[in-house]
Structure 1
């Protein structure tokens, strides 16, 4: 069996199971099995697949068909042009979260040396990306999970960020050592009844309560304690949540400016909260 044939067969199996990006996932798993780059795979599509590699490849497909996310099988996920280590201890970074990054970068570049906090950092993808993109920024990253912080620290070590990125364990803002200019948060926002659709990922990183907003309801009232006057918090949300959350913000932070930004699919994705100066 040639590389091309194995890829096509695997893509068909994944497609039959209902996966939306079957061909891409089949490619990712094949490259992982072979230990080669995408360019190399496409140059060698007519090469014969060794029987041992064929067995290994279709074993990884079996795991994927059983509901294990591809990123957990390969142990990595690309985000904002960089690769991050992931496993079942952390949420897999999503493409839509790159919109949160873009918003944060635009705001941060108006500061000379911004202080930024990423709350519920998980794999550290947001915090690390911001630290790498903003050479004069100081970034704090917090998470309640010691296991998640282990992954985040491993990722930070790969990019050699040194003292510009510091990790703290704690619930929401309690462990932040000082006030910051910008706060990012991709906290659990999936309604409890929908978490079963996201098999394999940690429930702690997904479950946001009945309407998905329980944790944000805890965060919003305490923002002024750690966000400087004139500072902005950027919160990632899910579909049908923007109006409910905006109303809650106006109730607890009536002087704050609220901006809702859609992602590339047109879905309201980021809620910006700017405190009065």
Structure 2
């Protein structure tokens, strides 16, 4: 830790039954995103065998809560080395160090032959011109590009490459308008099946194969 930067001191927050560590360089885990993990757990109960994939994992809280209490393996993917470090540390703290693989790679960096029965993604979805409205949040973790959907589109492409034929993907977005625009851009190999929302916070899209 940089002793000249007290804001980089590790912090922790409860996320369901888990305690998640992070610091100011990583997006603070939002309590309402437990919704995504709980929905993922519902889907996981009926999902085909195989590991869960978490895209834009940050500190790993959504993926870790998804697989909590199960024997499922988890692969966390993020481009931020600090976030990846916390995801690995949080996996160890949750007693899952041997069941979680953390990869610091771009969303198109996964081997093409990897297939996952469940994919969860919490991409940045704030428009670039609005990131200044959230000074406490790391820009890398919230900047979704000009229209807020740049990273979400990359997630959809990754889902299309790696989702099992009978699998499910849960993608978090910031607004109904974003959801409508992304729905209209989906490839024919994916469809929007359902949406769940937390009032005033965001929403989660369920994508599956047609």
TM-score, structure 1 normalization? 0.67
Query: Which string of whole-angstrom CA distances, capped at 9 and with x for unpartnered residues, describes residues 120-151 of structure 1?
Result: 11111112212214x12111111111111111
Equivalent residue in structure 2 for 1:223, among 156, 159, 166:
159
Query: Which string of whole-angstrom CA distances, capped at 9 and with x for unpartnered residues, describes residues 69-103 of structure 1?
Result: xxx77711221232211102211111221111122
Equivalent residue in structure 2 for 1:261, among 190, 195, 205:
195
Matching residue of 2:205: 271
Structure 2 segments unaligned to the other structure (5+ residues): 1-5
* Larger RCO, structures 1/2 (Cα 8 Å, 6+ apart): 2
Counterpart check, 1:153 vs 2:88:
yes
Please tell me whether Structure 1 or Structure 2 has the larger radius of gyration of its CA atoms. 1
Q: Do the aligned partners of 2:59 and 2:84 also contact (CA within 8 Å) in 1?
A: yes
**CA distance in 2: counterparts of 1:222 and 1:165, whole angstroms:** 19
The size of the alignment, in residue pairs, is 203
What is the aligned-residue RMSD (CA, Å)? 2.2
Structure 1 segments unaligned to the other structure (5+ residues): 1-62
Cα distance change of structure 1 residues 241 and 265 upon mapping to structure 2, 3 Å threshold = same
Q: Do the aligned partners of 1:242 and 1:260 also contact (CA within 8 Å) in 2?
A: no
SS of the aligned residue for 1:200 comes to coil
Equivalent residue in structure 2 for 1:139, among 74, 77, 89:
74
**CA distance in 1: counterparts of 2:192 and 2:201, whole angstroms:** 17
Matching residue of 1:171: 106
Matching residue of 1:197: 133
| CA positional deviation for 1:173 | 4.2
**Which structure shows the bigger proportion of residues in helix conformation?**
1
TM-score, structure 2 normalization? 0.87
Query: Which string of whole-angstrom CA distances, capped at 9 and with x for unpartnered residues, describes residues 134-189 of structure 1?
Result: x1211111111111111111111111213221111100141357211111000111
Structure 1's consecutive aligned runs of 4 or more residues displaced over 4 angstroms after TM superposition are none
**Which structure shows the bigger proportion of residues in strand conformation?**
2
Cα distance change of structure 1 residues 268 and 188 upon mapping to structure 2, 3 Å threshold = closer
